[in-house]
Amino acid sequence: MERREFVGTGATLAGALAAGCMESTTSLFQSDDRPREPPVVEDRPDAVYVPTHTEGMEMAGMTQAGPYTIALSYSFPHRFWTVRGDEAERVYVQDPGSAHLMLTVWDTETEVVVPVGSPTIELRRADGSSVDQRSLWPMLSQTMGAHFGDNVPFPDDGTYTATVQLAPLAVRRTGDFAGRFDEFVTADIEFDYSRDARDGVDVREYPNEQGQRGVAPSTAMDMPVATVPDETTLPGTVLGDATSGDATFVATVVHDGARFASGGTAGSYLAVSPRTPYNHLPLPFTSLAATVTRGSETSFDESLRATLDPELKLHYGAPIEGFESGDVVTLSVDTPPQVARHEGYETAFLAMSDVEFTV
């Protein structure tokens, strides 16, 4: 077994995975009548934690459409959590014959993953009959990062066509992304599906580490993974980082903010990059507001706009006329990340208090 490392608080948990911890889903997760997973960890922290297990995936196919490359993969059906407001609700596996479909979308030119949007997918048999049609959940997992997915029924083995539709992006785009991703895009991916392939994906259990603060070992991917820039590589003057709800918030002031302003002029631009701890995944569908105070005066008090930028990636920002030394920036999370969570993220990024930075 290859050596892997867990990333967690304090000392690194070396990849002390006991022999036999990697098993096929057939022996570990399947019974004759339904799939099963290890029980959810009791007494989970209100933070990112090592899950009971992670699973691999079977690649269904990739295609290019418009400015995007679209990758479709699947695994066995499994639990996940949807989020409404600051509450996470568990989604149970209803159909053991289903598969967990996962969609990853990125800009072909820059390989920047697009973690926002609301793609729809229709699944059809080889004879053209429709099997299922739905919108996919925006999701976050420790191994795949930001993607879209859901448990989708597959009545039997065979050839299927997935028709994916992407709407124009609703978030603001800046830099070389300005004026792009404005069109509707449709793509077809034809693939052969079998339950044996679904059940044959690698599964890794973490019986000794599950429930501890940290993340599961990373895995090699055949596609880009959505990440945000390291704090040291952000443009402008980085104000530092702060933690809320176990999410890390990094704020920077770009002094030449013209390219971020709708009119092309701005003295400065405040950019806030919320991210997961340990592996720096973006946190999309978050509502943030910022207040800038100078002494007893408030110079700025507005919501920040979700923005996709080639350099800053997904972030939240606003043009501001100018900052002075000693200004205090207070960030408020009006709505925590409204993304579905794979195990290990469902208890984090929910109760989020204000954080402060000083210029």
pLDDT band at 262 (very low <50, low <70, confident <90, very high): low
SS (H, E, C) 133-158: EEECEEEEECCCEEEEEEEEECCCCE
Mean pLDDT of 237-245: 97
Looking at the structure, give the CATH architecture of the domain made up of residues 231-358: Sandwich (2.60)
pLDDT band at 145 (very low <50, low <70, confident <90, very high): very high
Mean pLDDT of 115-130: 94
Please give the share of the chain, as a percent, with pLDDT higher than 90.
Answer: 78
Q: Which residue has better confidence, 324 or 209?
A: 209
CATH of 5-215, picked from 3.40.50.720, 3.90.650.10, 2.60.40.2480, 2.40.50.140, is 2.60.40.2480
Q: Do domains 5-215 and 231-358 have the same CATH topology?
A: yes
Q: What are phi and psi of 272, to 5 degrees?
A: -120, 130
Q: Which residue has better confidence, 269 or 11?
A: 269
Look at strands 172-173 and 297-309 and give their pairing: parallel
What is the C-alpha separation between 116 and 300, in angstroms, rounded? 27
- Separation of CA 127 from chain center: 34
pLDDT digits (tens, 9 = 90+) for 34-54: 456 889 999 999 999 999 999
What is the C-alpha separation between 169 and 167, in angstroms, rounded? 6
Q: What is the pLDDT of residue 299?
A: 92
Tell me the pLDDT of the chain averaged across its residues. Answer: 89
Residue 258 has pLDDT above 80, yes or no: no
Please give the share of the chain, as a percent, with pLDDT higher than 70.
Answer: 89
Residue 33 has pLDDT above 50, yes or no: no
Q: Domain map of the chain by residue range?
A: 5-215, 231-358
What is the C-alpha separation between 251 and 331, in angstroms, rounded? 10
pTM for the complete prediction? Answer: 0.88
Residue 4 has pLDDT above 60, yes or no: no
Token pair of 354 as six digits: 């204000």
Q: What is the pLDDT of residue 14?
A: 31
Q: What is the pLDDT of residue 96?
A: 82
pLDDT band at 340 (very low <50, low <70, confident <90, very high): very high
